[in-house]
């Protein structure tokens, strides 16, 4: 992340604490986002899309239903991320906005890098290289792929709104396209 982007996101976190939620903590949000990412990615992998209705926006869920049905099993298996397999997490973008009716929203894009042992080809569509990591010695070799995912979380901060974050964008580059 560039220093400018880092400062910008920290400024937005300050605005969130000052104007929307005095208890907001990016560390706590990140822990919750990791947990949500793990749960949602596993449900996607298992094609249990009906269980995502409370976690994912209706628009995203409709797109996922179309895409998941077309995925080969190896790509579908690669969507799943255990919390312990998440190697790195960072914020991608933070936005605060109001719609035409004065409803206040905050959205935070989270980027995840995770290890997955799905049986993916060395090269995936689009000629993009998938990073592979091999664990163990010659007798117990285990190949894992380092994959990325971007999930955008949105919450309405209008008075009386439910204090729940909803996933409004899901991207698994080179897997869920």
The whole-number pLDDT of residue 120 equals: 76
**Mean local confidence (pLDDT), 60-72:** 92
The verdict on residue 143 lying in a domain is no
- Say yes or no to pLDDT of 119 above 90: no
The whole-number pLDDT of residue 131 equals: 56
- Say yes or no to pLDDT of 132 above 70: no
What CA–CA distance (Å, rounded) separates 89 from 93?
A: 13
The verdict on residue 136 lying in a domain is no
The whole-number pLDDT of residue 30 equals: 96
Residue 128: pLDDT band (50, 70, 90) is very low
For residue 69, give its domain range.
3-111+148-171
- Say yes or no to pLDDT of 32 above 60: yes
The verdict on residue 117 lying in a domain is no
Q: Other CB atoms closer than 10 Å to residue 25's CB: what's the count?
A: 12
The whole-number pLDDT of residue 85 equals: 93
The whole-number pLDDT of residue 2 equals: 82
The whole-number pLDDT of residue 104 equals: 93
**Mean local confidence (pLDDT), 16-27:** 93
Residue 129: pLDDT band (50, 70, 90) is very low
Instruction: List residues bridging with 98 in a β-sheet.
Output: 104
The whole-number pLDDT of residue 44 equals: 95
Count of domains for the chain = 1
What CA–CA distance (Å, rounded) separates 80 from 43?
A: 8
The whole-number pLDDT of residue 16 equals: 94
DSSP sequence for the chain: --HHHHHHHHHHHHHHHHHT-TT--HHHHHHHHHHHHHHHHHHHHTT-GGGGTTTB-HHHHHHHHHHHHHS-HHHHHHT---GGGEEEEEEEEEEEEE-TT--EEEEEEEEEEEEE-----SEETTTEEPEEEEES-SSS-EEEEEEEEEEEEEEE-STT-----EEEEEE-TTT--
Q: Average per-residue pLDDT in the chain?
A: 87
The whole-number pLDDT of residue 102 equals: 85
The verdict on residue 48 lying in a domain is yes
As a whole number of Å, the end-to-end CA separation of the chain is 25
The verdict on residue 119 lying in a domain is no
The verdict on residue 162 lying in a domain is yes
The verdict on residue 141 lying in a domain is no
**Mean local confidence (pLDDT), 141-159:** 88
The verdict on residue 130 lying in a domain is no
- Say yes or no to pLDDT of 118 above 50: yes
**Mean local confidence (pLDDT), 98-125:** 84
Q: Tell me the whole-structure pTM to 2 decimals.
A: 0.87
């Amino acid at each position: 992340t560039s220093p400018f982007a880092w400062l910008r996101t920290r400024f937005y976190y300050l605005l969130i604490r000052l104007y929307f939620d005095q208890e907001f903590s990016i560390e706590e949000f990140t822990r919750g986002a990791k947990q949500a990412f793990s749960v949602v990615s596993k449900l996607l992998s298992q094609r249990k899309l009906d269980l995502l209705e409370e976690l994912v926006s209706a628009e995203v869920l409709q797109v996922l239903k179309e895409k998941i049905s077309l995925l080969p099993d190896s790509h579908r298996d690669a969507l799943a991320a255990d919390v312990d397999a998440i190697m790195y997490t960072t914020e991608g973008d933070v936005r605060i906005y109001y719609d035409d009716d004065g409803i206040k929203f905050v959205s935070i894009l989270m980027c995840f890098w995770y290890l997955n042992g799905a049986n993916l080809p060395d090269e995936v569509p689009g000629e993009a290289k998938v990073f592979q990591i091999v664990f163990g010695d010659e007798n117990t070799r285990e190949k894992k792929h380092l994959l990325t995912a971007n999930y955008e979380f949105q919450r309405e901060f209008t008075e009386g709104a439910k204090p729940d974050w909803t996933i409004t964008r899901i991207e698994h580059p080179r897997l869920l396209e």
